[in-house]
Amino acid sequence: MNGLKTVLLLSALTALLMALGYTFGGAKGAVIAFVVAAGMNVFSYWNSDKVVLRMHDAREVDATSAPDFYAMVAELAKRADLPMPKVYIIDSPHPNAFATGRDPEHAAVAATTGLLNMLTRDEVAGVMAHELGHVKNRDTLVMTVVATVAGAISMLANFGLFFRSGDNRGNALATILAVIVAPIAAMIVQMAISRTREFGADKAGAEISGNPMALASALAKISRGAQAIPNPVSERMPAAAQLYIVPTHISQMFSTHPATERRIEALQDIAAEMGAAPAARRRSALDPLG
């Protein structure tokens, strides 16, 4: 159901982009808008992970430089039946984590030192299982496409007054509405897609770690810390907020994530369902990690 909803919302976002192009340039404008979006998506497909990691000054770690953390991710990736992703640590007191990469074979997961220091081992495992859930569900690609198309809509709206065709030059009202309404509509669709994917990653993370309440506890701690400790990256680039396991701003109305309380409630429901499962399936996320 979440997959179908994402496809429909992505289709709506693409249609919005083409409608905006048509408003400014007729049929030719719609085609140009589509081609521009496609070109941006091709670039993002190949380079988004590098851009995101560089933006956060993330450093890659391995079994030698961060043995416990690396082993944890390796065990969780094995449980999720995923290739081993690249593992990064970000030197920042702000507690958060994210996944990136165009597909499971080229994925990377990252966590800040603030998150690693704030959470227990079980909670860290829950968070990294959530990020691997994004990888397993291919959300990293979906959200890259969404962010790119939404960015193209905003860019086109900003320059729309300069690219109108002669046939549309007299339709000032349509232009004004397009410039104002299109970016807002794109933001709403982007938020709807992102929120859907977060619930899906929470569920996948609970299944991968086998410990949904550890993830719920982590979300509560990260949410409090994320509001109290500044994040310079998201302050410079608000669009980066959709990457993180917990958003870095307070307003729920404009958040790319569901309310943390709702996510915790959903994880509590999952924990109750898992409570009826055999004890072997309810072991701690870290039991096999020694």
Cα distance between residue 30 and residue 234, in whole Å: 32
**33: Cβ–Cβ under 8 A, 6 or more apart, which residues?**
17, 18, 20, 21, 22, 25, 152, 156
Q: Is 131 designated active site? A: yes
Cα separations in angstroms, 230 against 56, 203, 248: 14, 28, 8
Where are any strands of DSSP class E within 81-232?
86-90, 97-100, 108-112
Provide the 3-class DSSP secondary structure of residue 91: coil
Give the tokens for residue 144: 């890259």
List the catalytic residue out of 60, 105, 123, 131: 131
HSE-CB at 136 with a 13 A cutoff on CA atoms is: 23
Q: Which residues are catalytic?
A: 131
